[in-house]
Structure 1
Amino acid sequence: MQRFISRFVTTPRIPKKFQEIFPKKRTINKILFQLDTRLTYREMFPIFLQVSQTTNEENVPWKKKYPYIKSSDIMQMRNVLITLRRQNKFVHKDLLAMEDKLLNIAAELCNNDAISILSFNVVHGHKRGSVEYNYQNDVETANRFIKNLYARNHHLTVKLIGDMFFENKAYDKAQKYYKEFLNLENSTKLTGEVYGKLGEIQIKHVNGFLKAEKSWLKCIELLEIERSSRWYFLLAKLYLSSEPMKARALLENCASIGFKESFKTLGFLELNYFHNHERAKEWFKIGMEIMDLECFFGFLDCCLKVKDIRGARDCLESVKKLGNNDNKKPMIDAFLESRRDSIKLLDKA
């Protein structure tokens, strides 16, 4: 088989622009290992290169040109780029365009996941009033595909229907489809996402704490932190008052990948529960770097508690400058008023 494949895998001339934007071989190989892909870097690379040079309108005989590929391989290649984007929290516009091209190619090769995603893109785009998806025939075709795939118990379609209702805040309907999905598969990455959203629905119900906790624990068991940081954070919030040690561990996981909300929450947890003022200052300082206003408040409180006069004065000056922003001024004025006595003592120090 390898000998057969090697007949079709050549090393094409690589344009300089592609070399500049495409990740290094080591980076891609690491992701291929994580995703457990069927094809190797050597087999995928010429397809990535071809896709980068192909327009959306250009009809390339993919199976003829690369007879070793399957439509599922194309979707895996798209997942490689998506994983890269999530890990880096940044993507070059050309790599983002490549994701879209790969999705279209997979649909051309009759991949049901690709057809489902594209169909939902059309429906969502039409609802948002996007000019790109303003053709009634396209919407009718998309709805027909969705209906047919759902009738065949296509797993991703069932989940995406649930997602659509979730986004529209029709939570009872969303929950119905999510439970249908869980009857179809129960230990995949998609399952992890479903458990995450189910937890968000369950926590809204009376006495939904235990159900939400169970769903979010299942979610973070199945998903890597890059895809589940929101649910790590929500689970941590459940534990803040009852099990702060668990909350701290979950929040530190969120902080490790730069989840913005985690810094102030960790800071206030260290300040108010563990009374570790220096550690709290460290978390607030990181939050200040991304201009989280509440981290400035927390940092100032820490400085006042440990009598760090210089740090408190510098922070107070920064807070007052931020008060020039009309959106932040009411919140800042309220905070300064609540700390008026401490600030007066600071002026006398």
Structure 2
Amino acid sequence: MLRIIPTLRTYSTTTTTAPPLLSILPSKRTLNKLLFDNDSRLSYKKMIPVLTSIYDNLDTPTSILLPSYVKSFDLMTFKNVLTTIRSTTGTIHPRLIMLEAELVEQAGELGDNDAITILAFETIEKKLNGGDVSKEDFTSANSLVKQLTDLNHPLVFKMGGDLAFKQNIPDKACEYWLRFIELESDTIMASHVYCNLGLYYFNKPDLTQAKYYFEKSVKFGDVDNFTIKAHYYLGQLYVDIDPRVSKYHWEIAASRGLKDAFQSLGFLELNMFENYDKSLEWFRLGVEVANDVACLIGQFDCYWKLDNRVKAFDILTKLGELQKKIKSMKNVPEELKSSMLMNQSLLATFFNTRSKEIGELNKGNII
């Protein structure tokens, strides 16, 4: 195997008081399972001293001393364990993020090609986004990517696809992702790429291909953000074919906290299965968890179907107040404008399409 030495290392000059490593990691039992799932060569007993050595010296990386038994791929395995913890729990601890990054740096210095790929693409992306990257580092990063491409190293195609997608070149992204799965087709990372391909084809739209890749993502993936997203889109693809399959996929997505799934399940139970009580439960969750306007509208429809005029009037009042509040808002931050416009449209549609029900409630016929 060609050994490529990166020259992209940077160091922090600040020191930080950090909590003990074990206090921010999950239990030994959880870590042992993750090590097993990631085919770790080293046990928990050998992993913790390695992580501790790096963690305790995050602010002074030159002081890190690794045990002689550690190989570069062990460090990347530990990095993948930390990434899995972050993606499955939805929690982000700044020091663990730093630990992930330092594991990659250390693995790169030991010649690990996955680590070198990550470091090279980080440098290229930083430059493309206007960051402060020297010409020498940028040239070096591109040279490393070229060497890794010549080696047909799988990760370089996955990350090349990710970068192309971020640069709004979706067809090139698809080309790179397809090349990746030719080289690596049955791993957790492949599951992530299958999900990306599913989204690509969903948006074309080529729904047959989208379904194929989303199902591949679920088959080979762990319970993480990618497979949850794949379940959600599979729910959309099945809704007109087999609503019960949609329900199955959306319930998995909702159980992992995907906000859009609450709304989808609510309207599925309301309109397809006419299970108004169950529908109401999903809409309530959507309002509580995500302040979802569509779920608030769904609550109104449920209460109307259940002939609960008092509750329906309460929801109508909330929707009216919300519409006034949105109309009165000025200087909306750029990142909130699309969401605000969507809510305005939902509310306008609600008041236009429920005029009969609203008229009855406003007459006072709520008993």
* TM-score when normalising by structure 2: 0.84
Aligned pairs for 1:171-250 within 5 A: 171-205=170-204, 208-226=206-224, 227-250=226-249
Deviation string 1:154-189 (CA, Å, 9 cap, x unpaired) is 011122112222233323222222222222122111
| Counterpart code for 2:69 | Y
**2:28 aligned with 1:25, yes or no?**
yes
Q: Which runs of 5+ in 2 are unaligned?
A: 1-17, 330-339
Q: Which residue of 2 aligns with 1:340?
A: 355
**2:56 aligned with 1:53, yes or no?**
yes
Contact 2:294–2:346 (CA under 8 A) maintained in structure 1: no
Structure 1 runs, 4 residues or longer, greater than 6 Å off? none
Shift of residue 329, structure 1, vs aligned partner: 4.3
Distance 1:154 1:192 in 2: 17
Aligned pairs for 1:48-197 within 5 A: 48-55=51-58, 57-60=60-63, 62=65, 65-131=66-132, 134-197=133-196
Task: Judge which range, 250-259 or 339-348, deviates more.
Answer: 339-348
Distance 2:144 2:19 in 1: 40
Deviation string 1:4-41 (CA, Å, 9 cap, x unpaired) is xxxxxxxxxxx864343233323322322332321111
Distance 1:183 1:277 in 2: 47
Distance 1:128 1:24 in 2: 38
| Counterpart code for 1:177 | Y
Aligned residues: 330
- Determine which structure has greater relative contact order: mean sequence separation of CA pairs < 8 Å that are 6+ residues apart, divided by chain length: 2
Structure 2 counterpart of 1:43, from 25, 29, 46? 46
Contact 2:58–2:98 (CA under 8 A) maintained in structure 1: no
CA RMSD between the two structures: 2.0
Contact 1:225–1:253 (CA under 8 A) maintained in structure 2: no
Distance 1:56 1:106 in 2: 17
Deviation string 1:83-123 (CA, Å, 9 cap, x unpaired) is 11112101211111111111111111111000101111111
User: SS of the residue aligned with 1:68?
Assistant: coil
Deviation string 1:114-148 (CA, Å, 9 cap, x unpaired) is 010111111111111133xx322211111110011
Q: Which residue of 2 aligns with 1:254?
A: 253
Deviation string 1:24-65 (CA, Å, 9 cap, x unpaired) is 323322322332321111101111111111135532464xx4
Task: Judge which range, 92-101 or 175-184, deviates more.
Answer: 175-184
**% identical equivalent positions:** 32
